[in-house]
Chain A
Amino acid sequence: MNHFTSTLNQLDKLALLFKELSNGKHINRTGDASLWVALEHDKTLYQSLFKALGFELRFDERGFAWFHTDEISSNISKTSRQLALLFMVIFDTQADAGKPLIHFSDWIVDRTLLSQAFEKHQTLLIAENLDIDALLLLLESAARLGFTQQSRGHWQLLPAVCRYLDHFESLANQQRKDEVQLADTETKEIKE
């Protein structure tokens, strides 16, 4: 047996991992422990193997991994747009309730929370054709992508949601910067 195939045999989770990852799923430390451990154990091997297949396997130290694609930003699919909206309203609702965002994986996401979120962002959600049931369905799609998981009768956000959180934060920073700049230019203008 040559070196290569023996290595492949060693990676007994390879097929499953590839299937999940190539379907756009995020492998989370929480929720997919065994897959995560497999990835972690043979990290470089997997990375090079997937690279050879044309995929970039990325790790985030907060405990998730995914196949990175550049297209996402340019061509956001309907689902990911809706997911972004879903997570946004959840984060917003929780932030208003004074919950630290960093602990999102501890939240209990259920109909109650979604109802609050819906109340708050009704116009926005209705514009996207989303009601509470649609949001619940969305959580299911999110589960398929490794953003959520069902646990003990409600939903739980998985570490991969960090990607959205990061995005929101950078947007917020950008906005702040813009505002500052705007303010600066304004003051300048005033001064001048």
Chain B
Amino acid sequence: MEYGFQQLVLLNSADYQRAELPLDDSVSLIAPNNTGKTSLINALQFLLIIDRRRMDFGAHEFDKTRRFYFPSNSSYILMEVSLPQSGTVVLGCVGKGVSHDYEYFAYQGGLITEDFRQEDGSLVTQPRLITHLAQKNRTLFRYNATEFRDLIYGGRRTRNSHEPDFTVFRLEHNSDAQPFQQVLTRTLRLDKLSSTDVKSYLLQIFKRDLPDANIDFKQEWDKAFAEVNAERAQFLAAKNQLNAINKLAEQVEARLVLRGKLIAWCPKINNALAQWQQHYQQEEEQIQIQLSKLQEEQKRQFTKGQELAGQRVMLDQALTELKNKSQQQEELDNQFALVSSRETLEAALNSAQQKLDHQTTLIGQSHNRSASLIQRDITNRKQALQQLQRQKESLADNLYLQLSKHLPPEQLERLNRALSAQVMTLRPEQFKLNTDTLKSLLEETDTLKLPGLELSLSALTAQHQQLGRQALEEQITDNQQQLQSLQEQLETAQQHDQAKIKKHQLEKEKRTCEEALKQYDILLKLRANQATRADETGTTESALKNVCEQLAQSGQLAQALTDRINQQHLALQHLVNKHKIIDRIKNRRTDTDPQFSYLADMKHHPWLAEPEWPLEQLAQQLETYQTNCKTLLEYNQQIELTLSQLHSSGLTKYQYSETADIELAAIINFSQQLDKEEEALDKKARSAVINVTASLHELRSGLHAFQGKMREFNRLISHRRLSDLKIFKIEAQDETQLVEAIDMLIDTAKGIDSGDTFELFNHGSILDNEQLERAKQLLIDEGNARQGLKIADLFRLVFIVAKNEQQPESFQEIDSAASNGTVLMAKLVTGLAMLHLMQDKRHKTRAICYLDEALALDRHNQKSLIITAQEFGFALIFASPSPLTTARYCVPIHQTNGKNNISKTSWQLLEDLDEDSP
């Protein structure tokens, strides 16, 4: 008897009241559609696949399926297997009841359906199963799903001493359990096998024989070239920036020099600055002293100058006076040119005196009043005469007379004091009198009250005296006589005035003579002094000349002094300016930047000693120092800028140096070694290519190994004849582009290995090669898209089919390779071959495989398939609505009480029809 599956029994499961199906040889399961053929075979999944995630019930969901297969706690799926190590065993699965859950069990012994029935014929329930079977001398072991799977696939480590070994499938390698189960699942539905499945199963089957190569090409490439690329980038950056670096080098050099200078200068400057204040004060004092001396001198000089100027004025005057006298003498000489002596003049004077004396006597005899006085007397006399005449005319009646009639005498007296004589002598037609009113006005003594005017009368005297006619006529005659006498006096007085005028003329003549004499005396005196005056003029002139010379000299002296004072002022100005400069710089020193404090610790060129400079030069030196400090800061800035430009242009190689100085030196050094660098890079690039291709090598050899395995596999399936197919094989064909890309990289690496030189940056160099770049890019893209490159990515499976008399054709999809029946055959053969590959050939346990729609196969193929399956260790179960006579068993499904039923008794054993087989 062969080891392997013996029979399958379903009790109260999948709509079967009972199903007993032989598994030890080919079976033709017969029932109309939708009866339960597939579901019967699918029941095996609970026992063989176990992991519910892997089970496949087509469109039926698992919850429904579970209810379908385990409607109660007396639902059973049972399988009898004969094992080489433990004999016949039963593997089973029993429902747990309402939850439609189930559990596994196994026991040693044959599968007898009646063992699961109680005496009353009903099925044993799950809780009672152990005790029930114990009564039948069966020791039952219970398992959960995981344990059960380990149990039958030989993965169970520990086992109780009395627990039998239930391993059904002995695999060559335990690691195959998963693909084995997967393929096994498929064997229940091999018709659904797709090319993708085949590929993945084959890969899993051959996995062990293949290198475990899954390379992330990009990562590999990046890893291999990381250093080269990084260094290359640095190299190129340096090369591109060579000009900038050269300029930088100059600046760095200049800065080193400048640093040295400033280090040397700083203490000198500080020292000088410390001394400066004192120096400045001393200098200033000196100049001030000098200045005040000079200014005093200047003052003295000024006074002297003024004195001289005074002298000059005096001398000038004296000289003018002398000249005037000479001129006067000249004039007088002219005037008296005709006068020969003084006596002439004296005689003239005497004559004038005598004439005057005569006239004076004449006038002295007539000492009358003057003509003008007399004229005035005449006028007065005429007026008095007129008054008297008027009084005489009004003598008959006038105001005074009227008043005296009407007024009391005292009142009249009062009024006469106030009114003039002329008023009192007015004629009656010349006035109007109201006595009463007048009286009231005159009531008061000493006062006259007029409307609007009040006069005091006390100081006034009586104005009018009423004369009588006689008196009047006497007075008039008197006045007329007096007027006659006055007229005669006036004539005499007028003759006297003529004489007086002549006297005046004579007096004038006398004075002229006296004057001439006086002038002449002066002339005489001038003539007497002429010689002395000439002398005097000489001395005065020479004195003046002397004074003028002195004045000129003193002017020059003053100018010189002013110049000297100006010089001193200038010097002072200069000093102050310096001080200001120093002061300004001192308060705004550029070297306060912290870096100046550790300048000496920084890299620098020593400054050669230079001659000391005097303190006076401090301002200038300080300015130079200041400028140098600024320049240093500018260098710093420029260098920093260039450096950051270099960084951003990619030259970052030395960015993390300890100090910037070190980095700069390194960069400059690097830029000077670019040729050597290029060589080194070339070498590195070669080894990078070799490194990267090592992993590609592995991939490719994996591909070759797989292709080798496929050839083996093809041998396995090729001696099966599938209908009219002359050739049926599965080939792993290269994914040409990928494989070519890999080959190209590998070949390039070989080229490098064998010593072909390449220049890194010339055309055709390894990194710039267009073909190579494309190959690399392709591998990178593919690697990215597939999360790394695997051997599986390097090939595609094609099914090569050749019918008799025809050229082989290749198909990517097995379904399109041939007719339905042939494809079914091909799939079965492929699937069985795969399972066969995995099984341990030393422990052959026959399993089953299932073929739905078996009628698609012709008898010949059915037969051929049964034999092939047998050779691979499988019993074939065909499912079809009508019987296949090629199978060993014919098993119809009966229906009783609406339930499916297959009883052992209905199995039909067919004779072997060997005459058909080749």
Residues of A in contact with B (beta carbons under 8 Å apart): 29-31, 33-34, 36-37, 43-44, 59, 61-63, 105-106, 108, 151-152, 156, 159
Contact = CB atoms under 8 A, between A and B. Distances in A.
Given A36-B785, A62-B736, A152 B812 contact: no
Contacts of A63: 735-737
Given A30-B781, A33-B785, A62-B736, 14 more contacts: A29-B737, A30-B737, A30-B778, A33-B778, A33-B781, A34-B781, A36-B785, A37-B786, A59-B812, A61-B733, A61-B798, A63-B737, A105-B737, A151-B774
A111 to B, nearest CB: 16
B271 interface: no
The 4 closest A-B CB pairs, nearest first, are: A33-B781, A33-B785, A34-B785, A37-B785
B99 interface: no
6 contacts: A33-B784, A61-B798, A105-B774, A151-B774, A151-B777, A159-B737
Interface in B793-809: 796, 798
A156 B812 CA distance: 28
Interface string B167-209: 0000000000000000000000000001010000000000000
Contacts of B735: 29, 63
Contacts of B591: none
A91 B388 CA distance: 176
Interface residues of B, number: 20
A46 to B, nearest CB: 13
B542 interface: no
Interface string B737-779: 1000000000000000000000000000000001101100110
Contacts of B774: 105-106, 151, 156
A17 to B, nearest CB: 13
Given A29-B737, A62-B736, A152 B770 contact: yes
A3 to B, nearest CB: 9
A86 B781 CA distance: 28
A179 B735 CA distance: 37
A152 B736 CA distance: 23
Nearest to B798: A61
A61 B773 contact: no
Nearest to A44: B194
B231 interface: no
Contact of B796 (A36, A61, A151): A61
Question: Which of B194, B771, B782, B812 has the most CB atoms of chain A within a 10 A radius of its CB?
Answer: B782
A39 B160 CA distance: 51
B773 to A, nearest CB: 7
Given A108-B770, A151-B777, A159-B737, A33 B194 contact: no
Nearest to B783: A33
A43 B785 CA distance: 16
A1 to B, nearest CB: 13
B848 to A, nearest CB: 28
A74 B733 CA distance: 35
B290 to A, nearest CB: 85
Nearest to A31: B781
Contacts of A152: 770, 773
Contacts of A151: 774, 777
A59 to B, nearest CB: 7
A106 B771 contact: yes
A138 B476 CA distance: 166
Given A61-B812, A108-B770, A33 B736 contact: no
Contacts of B786: 33, 37
B770 A33 contact: no
Contacts of B777: 151
A43 B195 CA distance: 11
Contacts of A31: 781
A189 to B, nearest CB: 34
A65 B796 CA distance: 15
A31 B786 CA distance: 14
B734 to A, nearest CB: 11
Nearest to B786: A37
A53 to B, nearest CB: 21
Nearest to B768: A152
A33 B793 CA distance: 12
B782 A33 contact: yes
B737 A34 contact: no
Contacts of B737: 29-30, 63, 105, 159
A77 B781 CA distance: 33
A7 to B, nearest CB: 14
Contacts of B194: 44
B812 to A, nearest CB: 6
A159 B741 CA distance: 14
Contacts of B196: 43-44
Nearest to A156: B774
A62 B784 CA distance: 20
Nearest to B770: A108
A33 B194 CA distance: 24
Contact of B784 (A29, A34, A59): A34
A33 B796 CA distance: 16
A56 to B, nearest CB: 14
A175 B904 CA distance: 70
A151 B798 CA distance: 32
Interface in B246-286: none
A44 B770 CA distance: 36
A151 B778 CA distance: 12
A119 B909 CA distance: 82
Nearest to A152: B773
Contacts of A105: 737, 774
A62 B738 CA distance: 11
A37 B782 CA distance: 8
B855 to A, nearest CB: 25
Contacts of B773: 152
B565 to A, nearest CB: 85
